[in-house]
Amino acid sequence: MPKIKFKGIDVYFSDQGKGAAVVLLHGFLESSWMWEAMIPEMLRSNRVVCIDLLGHGQSDCVGYVHSMDEMAEAVEAVFKHLKLRRVDVIGHSMGGYVALALAERNPDSIRSLVLYQSTARADSDEKKLDRDRVIEAVKVNAKSFVRKSIPMLFRPIHRQKFKQKISELKSKAEQTSTRGIIAALAGMRDRPNRELLLKFPPYPVHIIAGDKDPRIPYQESCELAEISEYVALHSIEGSGHMSYIEKPEETMQVIKTILAQVK
């Protein structure tokens, strides 16, 4: 993967295809590899840019807290390097938080925004305390945290069905450094509420939600979609938090439909 320098560290990305650019932002403990199965279909009509967010994949850490704004700043640095002006942004989970920060910082760069199993709401006080507890656990044994957390992203009935995939995800996630894990957890904990961005966005907003998602409650996604007429909800029936594995065909069809609607 090519790379750029950002605040003295390397940020890696990929850039393939021609046409309107779609930028893919992965979630926590993921990296650009999460999009591998979907990229070939997107390349039929779009230029596809994937970015390894700070502390994930091959990208390095810049500090001990990676705020969503700082991650967005790194994404902007890639935009500048590639001379991207207006893009469709799809962010999975934590990638959605980064996409929202990007949209707040630079709305003119967004052609459409897709919150893929993500939310515009901040962590609740209870969730913030939980993040703090997790950070302490990661300091003790990061690999144990990864091994336990990955299966919990799937519906219980899918954990056996996708046992091999879950094992592969664990192996890839274990490559994330302890520092990268903690910096991301702290950044997610401290992120602000950005629901206001959904009220009168100068671009279409789409929410892709798994109706059995154990991390982002489906009801919360429904409530966010009701904020304004500019927000559309796309439901993936029977999916947990990892619909690109649990329901790949349905997920790809939703993404194709969204990209086809962008003018």
**Cβ atoms 109, 77 nearer than 8 A:** no
Distance (Å, whole) CA 95 – CA 218: 18
Q: State the pTM of this model.
A: 0.97
pLDDT at 158: 97
CA 23 from chain centre, in angstroms, equals 11
* Cα–Cα distance, 216 to 226 (Å, whole number): 16
Q: HEC string of the chain?
A: CCEEEECCEEEEEEEECCCEEEEEECCCCCCHHHHCCCHHHHCCCEEEEEECCCCCCCCCCCCCCCCHHHHHHHHHHHHHHHCCCCEEEEEECHHHHHHHHHHHHCHHHEEEEEEECCCCCCCCHHHHHHHHHHHHHHHHCHHHHHHHHCHHHCCHHHCCCCHHHHHHHHHHHCCCCHHHHHHHHHHHHHCCCCHHHHCCCCCCEEEEEECCCCCCCHHHHHHHHCCCCCEEEEEECCCCCCHHHHCHHHHHHHHHHHHHHCC
Could you give the number of structural domains in the chain? 1
| Per-residue pLDDT at 203 | 95
- Give the span between the Cα atoms of 58 and 181, in whole angstroms: 13
Predicted local confidence at residue 51, as pLDDT? 98
Taking only the tens place, the pLDDT of each residue in 190-211 is 999 999 999 999 999 999 999 9
**pLDDT means over runs of 10, the chain (263 residues):** 97 97 98 97 96 98 97 98 97 98 96 98 98 98 97 97 97 97 98 97 97 97 96 98 98 96 76
Domain extent for 79: 3-261
pLDDT at 145: 97
Which residue, among 41, 7, 1, 8, has the nearest Cα to 22 in the 3D structure? 41
- Report the percentage of the chain scoring pLDDT > 70: 100
Q: Which of 77, 21, 25, 78 is nearest to 47 (CA)?
A: 21
Q: How far apart are CA 102 and CA 162, in angstroms?
A: 33
End-to-end CA distance of the chain: 30
Record the tokens describing residue 208, joined without a space: 């892709």
CA distances from 214 to 113, 154, 230 (A): 23, 7, 26
List the CATH number of the domain containing 28: 3.40.50.1820
The per-residue pLDDT for 262 is 78
